[in-house]
Structures are given as structure tokens and as C-alpha cells.
């Protein structure tokens, strides 16, 4: 069996599960559930739905839930929306991704969202426009991709036509949902064999229901076809209130155990973003610096940094002192997708070089180099920070840290380079992160130099 090395699981229990619970789950309990799921390191959580409260009263508190959750860096928080009204609400509530819904079957689409498929597509165009303006990627789910509770079989040509219209409106990913739970592995293979080559740019997801205990076999079939994104639900909760007869989703715990048993990784979940060109540039720079003696982070420290990035999966980073961009490429390439790195470099000539190297590695838009003295620039950078690499003036390390301390997220990773060579200069910094301050800190000793690695405890 040919399996991918790593897959990404999206937890949908708080949406697909909570929407069908007979009793309204209090908002605080929903928030608590999302926070606990975040704490397990789930890479993606579909938190709730921005749908009509008349259609799904169980999720009428979507705004309050989004506002109440604690966001773990590295987790993507999404919500389901059926139309542009939902998209406006979701963007305002600060979701990371928009998940849309339309059915491959006319009768189910009518039952679910009170529209024909064509009317839904019009609404989803408007939805995509709202998402685009808000800078949110759209992932489009297709209910009843493998069969309809009212119509039975759904012709493949009909599914393909829905896929094609969703791809046209710019959906980054498409999720095929087995809403009834009646799919079987042979069917999953046949449908994916048909669709995948026709839409090579689409990132596919399989959303399964376990009505006939076929969810995991169906996931295996999709994995063999190269699909690496799967929805799953804590405790196997879930089901569409407008699809009679279907039972819960595949259970997240079962799926993750099954994947681990087969040696398929599920964490940190989001595929890292290193490019071939980025790898090649790092190798070249490694060679060049040993011959020319240029100060860069280098291979040994690089290995430790990579490991730390994989563990913490930061998404909003700052690098102070960038030089030619070696560490910028290394960091950007090992952040989860969607990660951003701001580099501050004092020397305008070198800063230009750094930016062009990062762009050349394929990280344009992900790495931004700002020219200036970090102590002046840092106070002007907005937003939360969950990663810092300190590498400019050693005697200023503590001031760099203090300039962003108020914006550090809980769990933020701070790496200070050269704390061995410049021991005296970094003394105030070391006593800050090692004693009393809200950090856990440890030293990595490489013999020729040290690196201090601290985690902000909030
Ligand atoms: N969020 C909140 N309210 C919404 C909304 C949204 N996304 N979309 C529409 N509404 C409101 C309208 O403003 C209107 O309000 P009013 O009665 O106070 O004037 C009312 O809902 C009816 O609007 P209309 O456009 O006629 O919608 P509808 O009644 O035909 O319902 C949907 C269409 C799509 C909104 C509704 O069927 C729905 O939300 N379905 C979701 C189903 C679902 O979540 N299924 C499970 C997931 S698979
Ligand atoms: Zn579902």
C-alpha cells in the first residue's frame, strides 16, 4: 500500500457534531471544547457555522464562540458558511479560513440551504468575493459527493460540474463529503481517479461519515490516491440535520491512532513550506560560508532551529538582524503554511540582498524585510508574535525582547543566537529570561558558541 508520509486532520466536531446535538450546548462549553482541541495541537479546527440561526439554532452563538476561544499559534480556525451573509459574519469574527457548503444533489441542496445548486453557486461566488477581500482562503465542501439520502446515486458528471464551478470561483481546496456515509473504497478510488487529474491544482479533502463503518477504509482508499486532508470529529460526533439516516463522522481519536499505527504522521499537521530552491540556496550558502567565513546560523544551529520550529509551529515571526537571509529562508521554510516572517536589517544594502534571496527561494509575501534599527522598528510592528530570532547587536537583546514582550503569544519561542561568544554582552538578557520573568529557558551549547532558547509562558 502506498501511503503519504503525513496527513492533515481537520477537527469538525464543534461544527458538524454540535450542529446536530438535540440540546443547545452552552457557549462556554463550546469554547472550552475548542480550547481543549487546540491544546492537543490539532492543526485545523472547524469551530462553528455562520448559517441562519433558524436553520441551525444549535450554532446561533458562532460570533461569541469565535470571540471566546484562545488561539494556538499553528492552528487554523475555520467556520462553515453557506452564503455571503455568512462570509461577512465569519470574516468579522476573525476566522482564518472559510469553508463553504453546497451539495452535489439538487434535493439535498434544497433541503440543506433552501436553494438550487445554481443559486448556491451564485451565493458562493459572492462568498468568495467577501473572503477574498478579507484575505481568507476558501475551501469548498460538496455534500453528497458519493450519494444522496433522497436521490440515491449522484452521477459523476454532476459532481464534476459542481467541482469545476467551485474551482472556477477560486476555491483553494475542495472537500468531498460522504454525507450519507454510504460510500465504499472502490467508489472513492473511482471518483478520485476521475477528478484528481482533471483539477490538478485543487487541494482535496475527504469528509467521511461512518454509517456503515466504512469511514476509515474510505480514508485509506483516498490516501492511496494521494489525498492528505481529512475531516474527523472528536468522539465521532456529527451529521447533517438535513440528511436523514446518516450517522457521525469518523472519530478523530480512531483515525489518528490508525494513522500512527501505519506510520503516517499527523503532527504538526500543516505541511511545511520549504521549497526546493530554498533548500538548494541553504546548501550553497553552507558551502560558501565555510570557505569565506561569513557569519550565518549554519548547519548545526539550523538543525536545532528546525526541530524547534516543527515543535512550536509558529506563524508570526520576527527576526532581528538578517544579513543575507540564510536564517530567514531556513525559518520561513519551516514555518507552517500561512506563516509570516518579518526581518529587520539595519544595513539597507544587505536588507535588499536578504529580500531578494528570500524572494528567489519562493518566499515572496511570506518574508518581509524592513530596513532600520530594530529598536526603532520593533515598536511599529503590529499584531501578535509567536517567534523571535535575536541576532543583531548583542548588548541590545534585552531591549529587543522588551519591545515586543507585550505582544508575545503564550508559547512564543524566542531564540537568541551567539550567547556563547558574546557572553558578557548578553548577560542582562540571560538574567531576564532565566530568572523570574515569565519564560522557561535553556541553553544549547555547540562548543564553538551557544544559543539561548526561551518559551514565553504568558
Ligand atoms: N447567517 C445568519 N442569518 C442568515 C444567513 C446567515 N449566513 N443567511 C441568511 N440569513 C437570514 C436572513 O437575513 C433572513 O433573516 P430574516 O428572516 O430575519 O430576514 C433569513 O435568514 C432568511 O434568509 P434567506 O436568504 O431567505 O435564507 P433561507 O431561509 O432560504 O435559508 C440559508 C438559507 C442558507 C441561510 C439556510 O438554509 C442555512 O443557513 N442553512 C444552513 C444549513 C446547515 O448549516 N446545514 C448543515 C451543514 S451541512
Ligand atoms: Zn459532515
Residue 413 is part of a domain; what is its CATH number? 3.40.50.150
Which of 46, 51, 139 maximizes ligand 1 atoms within 8 Å of its Cβ, making it the mutation to test the pocket? 51
Are both 180 and 239 inside the same structural domain? yes
C-alpha cell of residue 12: 469538525
Are both 89 and 210 inside the same structural domain? yes
Domain CATH number, residue 139: 3.20.20.70
Does 294 score more than 80 pLDDT? no
Query: 429-439 burial string, b = 16+ CB within 10 Å, else e?
Result: bbebbeeeeeb
Specify burial of residue 348 (Cβ count, 10 A radius: 0-12, 13-18, 19+).
exposed
71 secondary structure, DSSP code: P
Highest mean pLDDT among 184-188, 241-245, 287-291: 184-188
- Using the atom order of ligand 1, give the atom closest to the CA of residue 15: 47
Query: 261-275 burial string, b = 16+ CB within 10 Å, else e?
Result: eeebebbbbbbbbbe
Instruction: Decide which of 261, 291, 308 is a domain's last residue.
Output: 261
- Cβ pair 85, 124 in contact under 8 A: no
- Cβ pair 176, 191 in contact under 8 A: yes
In the prediction, which pLDDT does 348 show?
Answer: 92
Does 268 score more than 80 pLDDT? no
Give a yes or no: residue 271 inside a domain.
no
Q: What is the rounded distance in angstroms from the CA atom of residue 366 to the CA atom of residue 333?
A: 10
Are both 188 and 336 inside the same structural domain? no
Are both 344 and 283 inside the same structural domain? yes
Q: What is the rounded distance in angstroms from the CA atom of residue 81 to the CA atom of residue 89?
A: 9
Are both 294 and 420 inside the same structural domain? yes
In the prediction, which pLDDT does 271 show?
Answer: 42
Give a yes or no: residue 183 inside a domain.
yes
Domain of residue 354 covers 276-456
Helices (H) and strands (E) in the chain, counts: 16, 15
Identify the band that residue 273 occupies on the pLDDT scale cut at 50, 70 and 90.
low
Give a yes or no: residue 117 inside a domain.
yes
Give a yes or no: residue 3 inside a domain.
no
Which of 13, 21, 52, 238 maximizes ligand 1 atoms within 8 Å of its Cβ, making it the mutation to test the pocket? 52
Are both 244 and 375 inside the same structural domain? no
pLDDT tens column, 160-180? 999 999 999 999 999 999 999
- Cβ pair 368, 340 in contact under 8 A: yes
Identify the band that residue 299 occupies on the pLDDT scale cut at 50, 70 and 90.
confident
pLDDT tens column, 275-288? 778 888 888 888 87
In the prediction, which pLDDT does 225 show?
Answer: 97
Are both 300 and 431 inside the same structural domain? yes
In the reported structure, the alpha carbon of residue 90 is separated from the centroid of ligand 1 by a whole-number distance in angstroms of 14
In the prediction, which pLDDT does 90 show?
Answer: 98
Give a yes or no: residue 2 inside a domain.
no
Does 389 score more than 60 pLDDT? yes
C-alpha cell of residue 287: 558551502
Through-space distance between the first and last CA atoms of the chain, rounded to whole angstroms: 45
In this structure, the residues whose C-beta lies within 6 A of any atom of ligand 1 are: 19, 49-52, 55-56, 80, 82-83, 85-86, 89, 101, 112-114, 143, 240-242
Three-state SS for 211?
coil
Give a yes or no: residue 270 inside a domain.
no
Q: What is the rounded distance in angstroms from the CA atom of residue 236 to the CA atom of residue 281?
A: 45
Q: What is the rounded distance in angstroms from the CA atom of residue 187 to the CA atom of residue 247?
A: 19
Tell me if the bond preceding 268 is cis, omega within 30° of 0: yes
The domain total for the chain is: 2
Quick one: which ligand is closest to 60's CA?
1
Are both 231 and 331 inside the same structural domain? no
Residue of 10, 240, 354, 450 marked catalytic? 240
In the reported structure, the alpha carbon of residue 200 is separated from the centroid of ligand 2 by a whole-number distance in angstroms of 25
Give a yes or no: residue 245 inside a domain.
yes
pLDDT tens column, 402-411? 999 999 999 9
In the prediction, which pLDDT does 282 show?
Answer: 86
pLDDT tens column, 84-102? 999 999 999 999 999 999 9
Instruction: Decide which of 261, 295, 310 is a domain's last residue.
Output: 261
Three-state SS for 209?
strand
Nearest CA to ligand 1 atom 36: 113
Residues 6+ apart with CB under 8 A from 190: none
Nearest CA to ligand 1 atom 8: 52
Q: What is the rounded distance in angstroms from the CA atom of residue 192 to the CA atom of residue 362?
A: 30
In the prediction, which pLDDT does 117 show?
Answer: 98
Nearest CA to ligand 1 atom 23: 52
Quick one: which ligand is closest to 237's CA?
2
Are both 105 and 147 inside the same structural domain? yes
In the reported structure, the alpha carbon of residue 100 is separated from the centroid of ligand 1 by a whole-number distance in angstroms of 13
pLDDT tens column, 321-367? 987 788 999 999 988 767 899 999 999 999 999 999 999 998 988 99
Nearest CA to ligand 1 atom 21: 52
Are both 251 and 313 inside the same structural domain? no
Give a yes or no: residue 49 inside a domain.
yes
Instruction: Decide which of 226, 261, 296 is a domain's last residue.
Output: 261
The yes-or-no answer on residue 251 being catalytic is no
Residue of 47, 104, 117 lying closest to 81 (CA atoms): 47
In the reported structure, the alpha carbon of residue 445 is separated from the centroid of ligand 2 by a whole-number distance in angstroms of 50
Nearest CA to ligand 1 atom 26: 114
Mean of pLDDT values over 108-117? 98
In the reported structure, the alpha carbon of residue 52 is separated from the centroid of ligand 1 by a whole-number distance in angstroms of 4
Are both 304 and 402 inside the same structural domain? yes
Helix 117-133 vs helix 106-113: angle between axes, to the nearest 10 degrees?
Answer: 60
Are both 195 and 289 inside the same structural domain? no
pLDDT tens column, 244-259? 988 999 999 889 888 8
Mean of pLDDT values over 206-211? 96
Amino acid at each position: 500500500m502506498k501511503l503519504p508520509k503525513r496527513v492533515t486532520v481537520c477537527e469538525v466536531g464543534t461544527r458538524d457534531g454540535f450542529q446536530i446535538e438535540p440540546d443547545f450546548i452552552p457557549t462556554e462549553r463550546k469554547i472550552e471544547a475548542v480550547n481543549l482541541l487546540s491544546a492537543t495541537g490539532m492543526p485545523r479546527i472547524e469551530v462553528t457555522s455562520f448559517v441562519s440561526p433558524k436553520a441551525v439554532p444549535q450554532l446561533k452563538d458562532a460570533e461569541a464562540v469565535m470571540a471566546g476561544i484562545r488561539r494556538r499559534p499553528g492552528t487554523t480556525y475555520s467556520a462553515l458558511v453557506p452564503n455571503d451573509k455568512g462570509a461577512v459574519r465569519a470574516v468579522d469574527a476573525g476566522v482564518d479560513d472559510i469553508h463553504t457548503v453546497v451539495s452535489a444533489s439538487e434535493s439535498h441542496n434544497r433541503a440543506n440551504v433552501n436553494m438550487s445548486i445554481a443559486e448556491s453557486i451564485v451565493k458562493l461566488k459572492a462568498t468568495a468575493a467577501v473572503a477574498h477581500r478579507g484575505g481568507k482562503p476558501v475551501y469548498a465542501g460538496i455534500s453528497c459527493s458519493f450519494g444522496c439520502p433522497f436521490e440515491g446515486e449522484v452521477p459523476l458528471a454532476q459532481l464534476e460540474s459542481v467541482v469545476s464551478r467551485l474551482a472556477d470561483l477560486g476555491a483553494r481546496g475542495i472537500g468531498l463529503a460522504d454525507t450519507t456515509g454510504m460510500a465504499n473504497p472502490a467508489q472513492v478510488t473511482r471518483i478520485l481517479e476521475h477528478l484528481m487529474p482533471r483539477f490538478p491544482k485543487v487541494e482535496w479533502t475527504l469528509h467521511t461519515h461512518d454509517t456503515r463503518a466504512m469511514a476509515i477504509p474510505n480514508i485509506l482508499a483516498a490516501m492511496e490516491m494521494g489525498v492528505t486532508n481529512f475531516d474527523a470529529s472528536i468522539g465521532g460526533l456529527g451529521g447533517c440535520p438535513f440528511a436523514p439516516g446518516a450517522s457521525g463522522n469518523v472519530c478523530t481519536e480512531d483515525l489518528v491512532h490508525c494513522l500512527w499505527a501505519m506510520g503516517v504522521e499527523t503532527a504538526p499537521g500543516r505541511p511545511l513550506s520549504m521549497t526546493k530552491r530554498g533548500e538548494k540556496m541553504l546548501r550553497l550558502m553552507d558551502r560558501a560560508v565555510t570557505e569565506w567565513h561569513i557569519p550565518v546560523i549554519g548547519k548545526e544551529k539550523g538543525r536545532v532551529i528546525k526541530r524547534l520550529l516543527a515543535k512550536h509551529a509558529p506563524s508570526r515571526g520576527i527576526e532581528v538582524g538578517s544579513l543575507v537571509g540564510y536564517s530567514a529562508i531556513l525559518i520561513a521554510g519551516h514555518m507552517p503554511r500561512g506563516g509570516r516572517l518579518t526581518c529587520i536589517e539595519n544595513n539597507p544594502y544587505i536588507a535588499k540582498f536578504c529580500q531578494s534571496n528570500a524572494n528567489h527561494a519562493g518566499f515572496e509575501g511570506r518574508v518581509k524585510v524592513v530596513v532600520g534599527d530594530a529598536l526603532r522598528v520593533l515598536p511599529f510592528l503590529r499584531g501578535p508574535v509567536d517567534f523571535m530570532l535575536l541576532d543583531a547587536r548583542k548588548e541590545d537583546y534585552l531591549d529587543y525582547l522588551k519591545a515586543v514582550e507585550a505582544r508575545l503569544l503564550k508559547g512564543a519561542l524566542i531564540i537568541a543566537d551567539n550567547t556563547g561568544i558574546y557572553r558578557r554582552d548578553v548577560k542582562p538578557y540571560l538574567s531576564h529570561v532565566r530568572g523570574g520573568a515569565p519564560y522557561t529557558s535553556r541553553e544549547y551549547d555547540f562548543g564553538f558558541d551557544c544559543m539561548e532558547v526561551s518559551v514565553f509562558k504568558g
